[in-house]
Homo-oligomer: A and B are copies of this chain.
Amino acid sequence: MREVAVIGCGMTKFGELWTRSLRDLFVEAALKAIDDANVDHLDSIYVGSMTPGLFVGQEHIGALMADYLGVAPIPAMRVESACCSGGMAFRLGFFEIASGHSDVILVGGVEKMNDGADVTYALATAADQEYEAYHGVTFPGLYALIARAHMHRYGTTRKQLAAVSVKNHRNGALNPNAQFQKEVTIEQVINAALVADPLTVLDSSPVSDGAACAILTSLDIAKKMQKPTIKVIGTGAATDRLALHTRDDITALKAVQVSAEAAYKMAGVKPSDIHLAEIHDCFSIAEICVIEELGFVKKGHGGPFTEQGHTALDGKIPVNTSGGLKSKGHPVGATGIAQIVEVVEQLRGNAHQRQVKNAQIGLTQNMGGSGASSVTHILRID
């Protein structure tokens, strides 16, 4: 396998972008990534997007984006794994470079969720339609079940859940691309409108529009360029039973654990080697479960670990320095690539007020549904 590097990235601001279209957003992020990489051609494009068909009535967006970017006839396709579509697009670009078939690939993610579609229905298509969605359960409900089980089994408290949102808003307040650039307090999170007990609206990531892109090439080519080289040292992906009720233990996100294990093994690193991580905090409880599955803390200890500040910017393992899905926003297909954007900026030392000191190895973890898909990447500055 050829070694693979990230040589450019870019993203739009995330938010309720009423004046921007799906294609607009993708092209803006793509041009920023192309400029950043300073490349003069692309060999192919992978676009991660969860459900542009349901959100804006547009499928076939691989070809659409190649067209609007002005790069047809190069190959382009869309990949979908619910909310980890972006992370999967990155993985596909990795394989195509690694195979030696292509030299320069644009991987991106985009979603336009605020154009009037029934967002709750559209997102629920990532759950099991026949055994979950049809019966009325939605994602806040599924994650609320996980939260209640985690609280019951491990003693995780309402306040510990809130601590995730407080920390991520604190980071997001420092991120000019974040949807919510403001801090929130524990009390505000707990007393916000209840969505699905125990989760309030401030435990939940928002409905967002946005796009993010990155440029991949081989390590050999990257090294010839006059810029810091960010090497992709690990990729891992995994699945789990789709419907929550079919799993042995709903507090365990097995796909996250397996995808991380694969990425760690390939990279030859362990959890304690990671300097920062961008992970899938679609709900506060998700971040607590994920840091446990990634091995940053023992199973069941994610709540206290967060409350004690170990995942803060200056903590043992800074998590979601970008603000995460909670504060930066969660245009679902774009999220996995936006995580890459943050890690690349951190490893380059360009994260300004959010900069993690001496960040050399970063991890991204992107998840679909109630954790039935997960993809983990590990990047290192060379």
Chain A positions within 8 Å of B, measured between CB atoms, are 1-2, 21, 44, 50-51, 53-54, 56-60, 62-64, 66-67, 72-82, 88, 92, 95-96, 98-101, 121-122, 125-130, 133, 237-243, 246, 254-255, 258-259, 368-369, 372-373, 375
A1/B57 in contact, CB under 8 A: no
9 A-B pairs with the lowest CB-CB distances in the bound complex, closest first = A75-B237, A99-B99, A63-B372, A60-B82, A98-B99, A59-B125, A58-B129, A73-B238, A60-B126
A74/B128 in contact, CB under 8 A: no
A67/B372 in contact, CB under 8 A: yes
B100/A67 in contact, CB under 8 A: no
A67/B242 in contact, CB under 8 A: yes
Q: How many copies does the complex hold?
A: 2
Docked pose: A353 CA to B286 CA in angstroms: 56
Known A1-B101, A95-B96, A101-B95; contact A63-B75, beta-carbon cutoff 8 A: no
Which B residues lie within 8 Å of A100 (CB)? 1, 98-99
Docked pose: A66 CA to B368 CA in angstroms: 14
Could you list 19 A-B pairs, sorted by A, with CB under 8 Å?
A: A50-B59, A57-B133, A58-B125, A58-B129, A59-B125, A60-B82, A60-B242, A60-B372, A62-B80, A63-B239, A63-B368, A63-B373, A64-B128, A64-B372, A75-B238, A76-B239, A92-B92, A92-B95, A98-B99
Tell me the smallest distance from the CB of A41 to a CB of chain B, in Å. Answer: 15
Besides A64-B372, A77-B81, 4 other CB < 8 A contacts? Answer: A63-B373, A67-B242, A76-B373, A92-B95
The residue in chain B whose Cβ has the minimal distance to the Cβ of A57 is: B129
Of B73, B82, B129, B239, which is within 8 A of A240 by CB? B73
Which B residues lie within 8 Å of A74 (CB)? 238-239
